[in-house]
Every structure is written in structure tokens, then in C-alpha cells.
Structure 1
Amino acid sequence: MRLIQQNPDLSAYLAADEVIDHDHPLIRETADRLRTGGADAYSYAKAAYEFVRDTVPHSADAQDPRVTWRASDVLALRTGICYAKAHALAALLRAQSIPTALCYQRLADDDGTNAVVHGLVAVRLPGRASWARQDPRGNKPGVDAQFSPEGERLAWTVRPECNEIDYPVLYDAPHPVVLSALRAAPDRHRLWRTLPTAL
């Protein structure tokens, strides 16, 4: 799959904003703690990925009703759906100067119905000419996502026969449709009814 940069300037994928607030003290402290012993960029990226994947439960798996969307809130409250966890990982990686993009898939049931947009990230590690998608959603029975810059080990591989899509665009900020759904939802149950079905 060919990934397409939304912004040709890599600095856009290092920026802080209201959502990917890597200038927040909690993000900085967490990033510093994960980069112990002068770890190189690869080791740090793997540690940050595993931290978000494994220590921030996906709110649906944990039956947590809270909705988070700002990276620092995801880490403070230790909850979030795929989009929120992607925001947290992007913040941790950008905090250590690793360009990180947000990207999306459209997933569906086996018969192609009940489509929903799924969020993940893509990283550009030093010395590499291409982006590598990573999915920090969180593992569970049937899902075994792993940090893998060489070959993708995502939570799900899309099935075109089920009307699923890998969206190729790499966004430097959350897609407006995604962010709007997160911000408008008072709890996860209502968010589930308003999740984007396509981009």
C-alpha cells in the first residue's frame, strides 16, 4: 500500500496542537521515562507503542464510558478508543522528534455492513525513506498487533470483499470527522452510535 503524505513538510508531523499536545508536562514526563538509558529512536518508538497499546485499555474492552480525545487526557485517565490511543502515541513519538501521522481504515462486518472508521498511526523512523503504520488499539483474543517497522502487524488487515478500505492519506492532525465525533459524545455509548462510517 502506498501511503500519501497530506503535508509534504515533515515538520507538520512533529507539531503540537490541542489534540496531540506533546508539550504537556505529562506527555513530556512519560516520554522521558520511556527513553531511559539513551535509547535510540527505534527502541524508544517500540517502547512508546507498547506503553500505549498495553497500559491504556481500549475503552470498549474495559467497558469504560469515558470519552477521551486529547493525548494528555488519554494518558492521565488511561482510557480511550482507537482514535484517542493513536493521538496519545503520536504525542509520545513527536515529543521525541519522531515524525508521526494519523491514518485510518474502514472496517466492517463479514457481510460488509456496520462499517466504522478505525484509527492508527504511521511513523517515519530516522534513516528510513518510508512510513510504517502501527496500531496501538490494544490486543485481545483475535487481535495481535505488534510494533513492526518492516512489515505491518496491525490489529486488522482490510478485506476489500467486505467493503473495507485502507485510507492511504497520512494526516498531520486528526481528521475533522473523527475529532467532531469524539468531542460531541458525552459518553462512549453515545459515541458508538455516532462513529464515522467513512472518510
Structure 2
Amino acid sequence: MLPESSYLPDYLEESDIIDFSNPLIERKCNHLFDRPSSSSELKKVKIAFEFVRDEIPHSWDIQGSVVTCSASEVLKHQQGICYAKSHLLAAILRRVGIPTGFCYQKLMLFDTPDKGYAIHALNGIYLHSLEKWIRLDARGNKPGVKAEFSLTEEKLAFPIQEQYGERDYQTIFTKPNQKTITTLKDNSNVIEMYKNKLPDEL
């Protein structure tokens, strides 16, 4: 993995998308990290990851109708596709001082190349205590998809199948990809967006 920036504060910035000063984000962080058992950096990362993975449904899985983009919107509506969920995880971790970036994969949209491709989003997180980056995928588990918190080997939602044209982008970006943001902002129907309008290249 290659960080886009060597300056870690770039991975702590707030924006209108990663809006961690929003009261909804503030209250959720206070709730998630209000126990002594959540005091360490590693525990904070694991708690935040598992919350976004397990408690915020992926909009396609629930056939949702609300398109969310900013972290606070995802929290308010309790759903989002992978792009939006990566915004929420970044906002929660950045609020507590843990550098978090954005990573991408090019995947088959469904199960065969002829059905097209889409960019998939996950997060890169810098662990000061271990002096290294890890990637976590909070997309949400379901039959056939099992992403886990791991410090030693990546356990992401989707293995890359290079023989089918899939690829793993190695950069950890400081900001969400503009194509993914535009897609979320320009659409109002999750199902139509997911079927027809997701970007297939960075």
C-alpha cells in the first residue's frame, strides 16, 4: 500500500463529506468510546469498524431507496453503499485522531464480466501503536462476503480476480474519489444508481 501523502495530518482533515464535527457523529463517537475497554487505539479502530460494518446496512443489501453521501447522512439514514460507509468510518476515526484514508478496488458489479464493473471503496487506517497502515472493508458481511478486523493479514470483503479484469488500487488516498462523490450526489434512487451509474474506473 502506498499512502498518497506522507503527512499524516492530511488523513485527519474534515470536509463536508467527512463531517466529523456534526452532532450526530459526535454523539455516536461518545457512545462508541465511552467505556474503559475502548480506550486504546486498536480497540477504537475495531469498535468503529465493526459498528459501520454490522450496524449500518449496505443499501443494495436492503434494497434501500435513500442515497447517502456524507458521514452524517449515513448515520442519520442508517444506510449507505460502500462509498458512503467508507466516509462514515473515516469520520468516526478521524474525530478521535486516527488517520484514515480511502482505498479502492475495481470489481465485477455482479458475478460475470459481461455484467460490467464498478469501483468498490474501503479504508486505509494508520496505527500509531504499530507504525503501519492496514486496510479494512466495512461494506457489510452477508453470505459469500466476510470481511474481518485483522492486524496480520487482510480479510477484505472481496478477493481480487485478476483473470476477470478486477484490480486492487494500491494508493491510500487522503480524500474520497471525486467520481464516487459525484455519483452519490447526482442520484436519488439507490437501485437505479447501483445498476447503471457506478463508476468503473478511478
Question: Which TM class, normalised by the smaller chain length?
Answer: over 0.9
**Does the CA-based 8 Å contact 2:67-2:187 persist in structure 1?**
yes
Distance 2:46 2:159 in 1: 21
| One-letter amino acid of the counterpart of residue 52, structure 2 | V
| One-letter amino acid of the counterpart of residue 17, structure 2 | V
Which residue of the partner structure matches residue 59 of structure 1? 59
Matched residue of 1:65: which SS?
coil
Residue of 154, 159, 172 corresponding to 1:170: 172
Task: Give the CA RMSD over aligned residues.
Answer: 1.2
Residue 127 (structure 1) shift: 2.2
Q: 1:23–1:137: structure 2 CA closer, same or farther, 3 Å change rule?
A: same
Q: Which deviates further from its counterpart, 189-198 or 49-58?
A: 189-198
Residue 111 (structure 1) shift: 4.4
- Same amino acid, percent of matched pairs: 38
Distance 1:33 1:111 in 2: 42
Which residue of the partner structure matches residue 25 of structure 2? 27
Residue of 154, 157, 165 corresponding to 1:155: 157
Q: 1:170–1:160: structure 2 CA closer, same or farther, 3 Å change rule?
A: same
**Does the CA-based 8 Å contact 2:63-2:191 persist in structure 1?**
no
Residue 129 (structure 1) shift: 2.7
Distance 2:191 2:47 in 1: 31
Which residue of the partner structure matches residue 199 of structure 2? 196
Q: Which deviates further from its counterpart, 135-144 or 181-190?
A: 181-190
**Does the CA-based 8 Å contact 1:133-1:149 persist in structure 2?**
no
Q: Unaligned regions of 5+ residues in structure 2, if any?
A: none
| One-letter amino acid of the counterpart of residue 125, structure 1 | L
Distance 1:150 1:51 in 2: 21
Which residue of the partner structure matches residue 116 of structure 1? 118
Count of aligned pairs: 197
TM-score calculated relative to the size of structure 1:
0.95
Distance 1:76 1:49 in 2: 18
| One-letter amino acid of the counterpart of residue 43, structure 2 | S
Distance 2:10 2:127 in 1: 15
Distance 1:52 1:150 in 2: 21
Which residue of the partner structure matches residue 135 of structure 1? 137
Q: Which deviates further from its counterpart, 172-181 or 185-194?
A: 185-194
**Does the CA-based 8 Å contact 1:112-1:164 persist in structure 2?**
no
Matched residue of 1:36: which SS?
coil
Q: Unaligned regions of 5+ residues in structure 1, if any?
A: none
Please list every run of at least 4 consecutive aligned residues from structure 1 whose deviation after the TM superposition is greater than 2 angstroms: 109-113, 127-130
TM-score calculated relative to the size of structure 2:
0.94
